[in-house]
Amino acid sequence: MAQLPTSLVAAAGLVGGYAAARWTGKRPLGGVVLAAAGTVAAREWHRRTTPTTTALLGAAYIAAFAASHPLAKKIGPWPAVFTAATTMAATTYATADR
């Protein structure tokens, strides 16, 4: 059975969370999407890697979300979200998906 590409799940959580919040006007809904994708990714990270790596990837996911906010003030919201998602996807691919 093919492994779930957690790099895509994490990136989709960041992009999907922002999109849900933006288009519905309900920020908590964006948080639900972000948390759901993060939970799916973290379960796979836990299955594939060490607890330390899982914790670090979880922290990176939260950091990417947090960093997109001040970055949005400099480059705009969508570019900031895509930058955060791309960075998270690359980090995840390098540590858990290869």
Whether 83 maps to a domain, the answer reads yes
Whether 1 maps to a domain, the answer reads no
Calpha distance 64→13 (Å, rounded)? 11
Domain encompassing residue 87: 6-97
Q: Which residue in 66, 23, 21, 16 sits closest to 41, CA to CA?
A: 16
Number of domains present in the structure of the chain: 1
pLDDT at 1 over 60: no
The pLDDT of residue 23 is 98
Q: Indicate the pLDDT class of residue 80, thresholds 50, 70 and 90.
A: very high
Whether 20 maps to a domain, the answer reads yes
Residues 61 and 88: beta-carbon distance below 8 Å: yes
Whether 49 maps to a domain, the answer reads yes
Arithmetic mean of pLDDT over the chain: 96
Q: Which residue in 53, 86, 54 sits closest to 67, CA to CA?
A: 86
CA distances from 20 to 30, 67, 72, 91 (A): 5, 18, 17, 24
The pLDDT of residue 3 is 84
Whether 43 maps to a domain, the answer reads yes
The pLDDT of residue 46 is 96
38-71 pLDDT per residue, tens: 999 999 999 999 999 999 999 999 999 999 999 9
